[in-house]
Each structure stands twice: as structure tokens, then as C-alpha cells.
Structure 1
């Protein structure tokens, strides 16, 4: 399986990802942008109180780092609602693209794309970003605890297979920076709920929830081989200098992103 690289372009935008193959994708870091504190500097979230013009410039820089700056006008950024709805983008037709954007704006936590030149960007600050790629397209997924419990990553992988005709054996999944299992303490009720849906979770032990482990199980149940799921194991809490963390920054921070585009 392809390992990810840390890439930095000439604007200072850093991302962990891959620019090779039919899909270019990455998990952005927080440097290389124009936002002022507390959003410094590559904030990509438009809902946190940052200046809209700064967010737009930051998004342009990220697409430039992926080599698709000219596609800024086609960028899909869903309104994330911690659900399990998946939007599929399957046409470059203006009307169809407009419908997909409207559906994403209405509320979605995963986007499947099977057409070139349409970048997709989802925002994070401790929740788990997942990118699933295959020869015919990709999916970008936002998986907080609610989405993880709903197995949204597995749902997105199945939707990607339906949209592209790719078998799960042709897919690779990448889990980006997030709050790790030894950092994420949850309630007794929540750990009990997860123990009933996922394996290797002990509800009577420490109440530390490893979302990435549950996400991997959801992807494997969708048909991916466990060896085809790569977890970067990058902590947003421990590496708060590189990534935004809602917990570490007491709720006042920007958002990094998972972003992908077909060539």
C-alpha cells in the first residue's frame, strides 16, 4: 500500500498525502495560510468566525498545492452535520453539479466523486478524516463519534463501489490526523454503545475510545482488506502546532481539511 508523504509547496502550505495516481489527495496542516489568530494560519472552515476572504484564499492555496487551483469554482464543501449522509458527484454538467452542491450544503458528512476536476474538501479539528480512493474515483469522509458509530466510512466505501464499479479489493483508505484513542475519554454510556457495535472495546475498562479502530472495522466489513487501510496515527492534540484541535484549544480554533480531486 502506498505510504503518504509530507508535502510542502512554495506558499508554505503543508499536507500529508499523495499527488501521484489518478486521485491527488491530502490532509492539510495549519501553516501556510493568511488567517489571523486564533485561526492562524491555514484555516479552511467558513463557520468558525474567520474572515471569509481569508478562508477563500486559504482554500485557493490548498488547491494550488494539489495542482488544481483552476477548479476553485467547482469546489464542493459540504455542511457537516455529524450524520451519515453521502453525496455522490457523478457529472460535470452544470445543473447536476449544482444539485450535488445543494445537497451537500443541506447537510452531508461524506462526498463520493467520480468525475475529474471537481475537488472535495471537508473540515476537521479532532474528528477523524478518511479518504477512500480507487481507480474510478474517491470518497472524503468526516467521522466524528456519531458518524463512526453509524459506520459512515463503510457506507461511503459502498457508495464509491456502486458509483465506480470498483470492487472493495481495488480500494485504499487513509485515516488522517485526529484525536487518538489514548486521548479521547468518553462517557460510560457511549463506550457501552460502541462495545455492542464494534469488537475489541471493553466497556468495563478505561473509557478511552479509539475511533480509528472502529472506522477500520467498518471499512473491513464493507469489503476492504485490513492491510488496505492506513492510519497516519497523527494526533491533533499532541501535534497541536501542526493541526487544529478543538479540545486542546478550548473550542476556539480553525479547521484543517481532508481534500481530494481526480485528475
Structure 2
């Protein structure tokens, strides 16, 4: 497959109400039109959950009614146009492990799910027809998309961000996307679109001094606006750029989950009892 160097439209994130249940999500319609990849960062609207998990809780590990979670995921699938039965959702462990789902792995989705259940915080998908969902409530959601349609969905909490999971995901996508074989290896990441969804912003993200110092040591002083706070978004952007991602192709939704906890789940704002919104990507066969 020949990959045009300008194969992707400039990344944007726009609010859309999707499907019969009016699911609230941020997506890039131009990306979908160009390569058949639907990405979405969901909010809280449009789900069946109640109480602190109201309404579109997509996390199965937060003591919500499992039937409500299943219904929420089914609504998400319907709204975004993918088969719910093929959805894969990893067990997130706040680490930096990445798992690749390719055309061979797709033949054994049960095996894929077992591998993901063992723990990972990023999925690189080079196959069509496999929707990937990761869950969030303050941590940073990241989706990377190649002009070939391959993509990665990443969970970057402070531990994962500090370990460099964002840059590692970009490099892994560049390596595993066989359709990029004709492109020089050191140019591949510059072709990707990077989308950063809602996360807790620096003003609300207070950390210990040792965590702050570790971020500064790895990413530079720009990630620490003062002695107590960390800018996760700035750290992830720096990590992506170090991997070769074009900074002009990094799109940040600009939404703080802590400040807008009525629209997005926030672990810190809720005192630790809340649902999880999602970052999902899916590539149609064309």
C-alpha cells in the first residue's frame, strides 16, 4: 500500500450527540471520511447507570451494576456503528505495557481478551473490525492514528506518562503498521494524528514533590507550572514529539475533567467513587 505523506486531515475534535440515546462524544468526522477510523472520547450523557455512575459508565470495575455497564457499551457500539460483540477492553494497571492486535490475533479474539485481561495500558490495532475501548476518570486518554488506518488507544495516568507510554505507543504503531514499510522508519511517526481527550489539568493535579521532580527530570520544567502541580498534557505532548510526532498533528480537546465533572467522570472530584468515560477507536473495512 502506498502511503501519501499528507494522507490524514489535520486533527480536530468536535462535540457530537451520537445515536438514539444521544451519547455525548468528541470525534473527528474528517478522519473517519479519510481512512474509515472512528474515534470517540465519550462523556457522561446517554447511559443507563445511576447514582455516582450516572449515566454512561463504561468501566466494569467500579461496583456499578454489570447489566448497566453492558447496556452502556451496547449503546456506544450502536452509536458509533461497530458490533458490540467484537469490542475489546483491557484491564488497565497504570503501567506502560502495550499489546498489538493484528490480523492474526483477530482470528482468536478470546485469546486477545485473555492477554488484555492480564494487564496493559495501551492497545495498538493494525486490523480492521476490532473496536478498542479504554476507560478514564482524570487520567489522560490518547488515540494515535496512522494514514493507513492502524491506530493505538492509550491510558496515560501519571505513572504511565512518566514511564513514556505515549512515545512508546507511537513508536510501536510505527513498527507494527506493516503498510508503512515503504516509509523511512524515522519519518513514520510524523504522519500520525494524535488526539488527547479530557483529563485532569494542571491546576487541579497536585502531586508530591518527588513525582513533580521526576516529571521535570524526564520532560523538562514546562511540565511543572509550580512546585505542587503537574501538566500531564504537556508531558504527553513532549513524549510524542520526542518519538517523532509532528506537534502540529497533536490535537488536545482542552477539557479538564475535574472542572467539568458534570460532563466527565473525575476520580479526584468525586472522592474516588465514580464511573469511567471512554476513549474508543474502530477501523471499518473498506
Q: TM-score range by the shorter chain?
A: over 0.9
Q: 1:119 aligns with which of 114, 128, 131?
A: 131
Q: Is the 8 A contact 2:151 2:173 kept in 1?
A: yes
Matching of residues 204-243 of structure 1 within 5 Å: 205-243=226-264
Identify if the C-alpha distance between structure 1 residues 130 and 203 changes in structure 2 by more than 3 Å, giving closer, same or farther: closer
Alignment RMSD: 1.6
Per-residue Cα deviation, 1:76-97 (whole angstroms, up to 9, x for no partner):
1000000100010002665543
Q: 1:41 aligns with which of 55, 60, 65?
A: 55
Q: 1:141 aligns with which of 151, 154, 160?
A: 154
Structure 1 residue 229: Cα displacement = 0.8
Q: Which residue number corresponds to residue 5 of structure 2?
A: none
Q: Is the 8 A contact 1:13 1:33 kept in 2?
A: yes
Distance 1:250 1:109 in 2: 23
Q: Is the 8 A contact 1:76 1:101 kept in 2?
A: yes
Per-residue Cα deviation, 1:48-102 (whole angstroms, up to 9, x for no partner):
001111101101111222111xx21111100000010001000266554333221
Q: Does 1:32 align with 2:53?
A: no
Distance 2:244 2:11 in 1: 19
Distance 1:92 1:164 in 2: 13
The alignment partner of 2:270 has SS state of coil
Q: 1:158 aligns with which of 160, 163, 171?
A: 171
Structure 1 residue 233: Cα displacement = 1.2
Q: Which residue number corresponds to residue 13 of structure 2?
A: 4
Q: Is the 8 A contact 1:122 1:258 kept in 2?
A: yes
TM-score normalised per structure 1: 0.95
Matching of residues 187-206 of structure 1 within 5 Å: 187-201=208-222, 205-206=226-227
The alignment partner of 2:230 has SS state of coil
The alignment partner of 1:27 has SS state of strand
Q: Which residue number corresponds to residue 16 of structure 1?
A: 26
- Count the aligned residue pairs: 261
Q: Which residue number corresponds to residue 118 of structure 2?
A: 106
Q: Which residue number corresponds to residue 76 of structure 2?
A: 62
Per-residue Cα deviation, 1:193-235 (whole angstroms, up to 9, x for no partner):
1111111248794311001100001101111011111111101
Q: Does 1:178 align with 2:199?
A: yes
Q: Which residue number corresponds to residue 272 of structure 2?
A: 251
Q: Is the 8 A contact 2:191 2:246 kept in 1?
A: no
Structure 1 residue 38: Cα displacement = 1.3
Which runs of 5 or more residues in structure 2 are unaligned?
Answer: 1-9, 181-187
The alignment partner of 2:53 has SS state of coil
Structure 1 residue 23: Cα displacement = 0.9
Which stretch shifts more, 16-25 or 40-49? Answer: 16-25
Identify if the C-alpha distance between structure 1 residues 223 and 242 changes in structure 2 by more than 3 Å, giving closer, same or farther: same
